[in-house]
């Protein structure tokens, strides 16, 4: 029997290898596509969730706005009622007759009150003077012993400016925050 050529040598291993490589690349691309598709689906779920939360927040803000409008209307009604009551009270007039003897008693009482007040103010002035003198001597003694914390006028002015800037920043921040809350 004659020996013939083997059929295996007729096979093209290069094209077989190319086909395997293409299948591997296709599988990799398919996996990558599946991952991207899943990422898009996840992003869609997150977006839908955020959208529903935004709708809930918008509803809540609308309710808050409606409540604020109701409260404002009620406050306006109360203010108008108070204004009308004050107008009625202003319209009330009292008529009284005062006797001359009562006026003299009132004048004497006023003079006595002014005299007593003058005496109290004089006593208060003397007391303050004594306190200031004691304070002056206490401060002199502290300074002579190098005690206490002393700030020069320049430092005090600098600290006051810094405190003023901090206070203004705080007030402006609060006003801005309240204004931004009201506008929403």
**Nearest 10 degrees: CA dihedral of 159, 163, 165, 167?**
-170
Percent of the chain scoring above 90 in pLDDT = 36
Map out the domains of the chain as residue ranges: 15-95, 96-149
Supply the pLDDT for residue 4: 58
Supply the pLDDT for residue 5: 54
Q: What is the residue-averaged pLDDT of the chain? A: 87
Supply the pLDDT for residue 97: 82
**3-state DSSP assignment of residue 89:** helix
Q: Which residues contact 68 (CB under 8 A, 6 or more apart)?
A: 182
Query: What is the SS3 assignment for 105-132?
Result: HHHHHHHHHHHHHHHHHHHHHHHHHHHH
Cα distance between residue 12 and residue 20, in whole Å? 13
**pTM summary value:** 0.33
Cα distance between residue 111 and residue 157, in whole Å? 46
- Burial status of residue 38 (CB atoms within 10 A of its CB: 0-12, 13-18, 19 or more): exposed
Distance spanning both ends of the chain, measured CA to CA: 99
What is the pLDDT tens value at each position of the chain, 184 positions in all?
556 555 555 566 677 788 888 888 888 888 888 898 899 999 889 999 989 998 998 898 899 899 889 989 998 999 999 999 898 888 888 787 888 888 899 999 999 999 999 999 999 999 999 999 999 998 888 878 877 667 788 888 999 999 999 999 999 999 999 999 888 6
- Cα–Cα distances (Å) from 120 to 49, 50, 51, 159, 166, in that order, read 75, 73, 74, 38, 42
Supply the pLDDT for residue 143: 79
């Amino acid at each position: 029997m004659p020996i013939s050529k083997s059929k295996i040598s007729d096979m093209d291993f290069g094209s077989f290898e190319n086909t395997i490589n293409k299948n591997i690349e296709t599988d990799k691309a398919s996996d990558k596509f599946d991952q991207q598709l899943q990422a898009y689906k996840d992003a869609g779920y997150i977006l839908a969730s955020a959208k529903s939360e935004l709708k809930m927040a918008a509803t809540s803000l609308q309710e808050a706005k409606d409540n604020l409008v109701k409260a404002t209307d009620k406050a306006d009604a109360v203010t108008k009622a108070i204004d009308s009551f004050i107008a009625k009270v202003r319209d009330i007039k009292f008529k009284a007759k005062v006797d001359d003897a009562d006026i003299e008693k009132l004048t004497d009482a006023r003079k006595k009150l002014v005299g007593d007040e003058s005496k109290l103010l004089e006593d208060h002035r003397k007391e303050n003077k004594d306190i200031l003198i004691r304070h002056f001597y206490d401060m002199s003694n502290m300074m002579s012993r190098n005690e206490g914390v002393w700030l020069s006028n320049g430092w005090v002015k600098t600290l006051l400016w810094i405190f003023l800037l901090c206070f203004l920043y705080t007030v402006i921040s609060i006003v801005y925050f309240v204004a931004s809350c009201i506008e929403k």
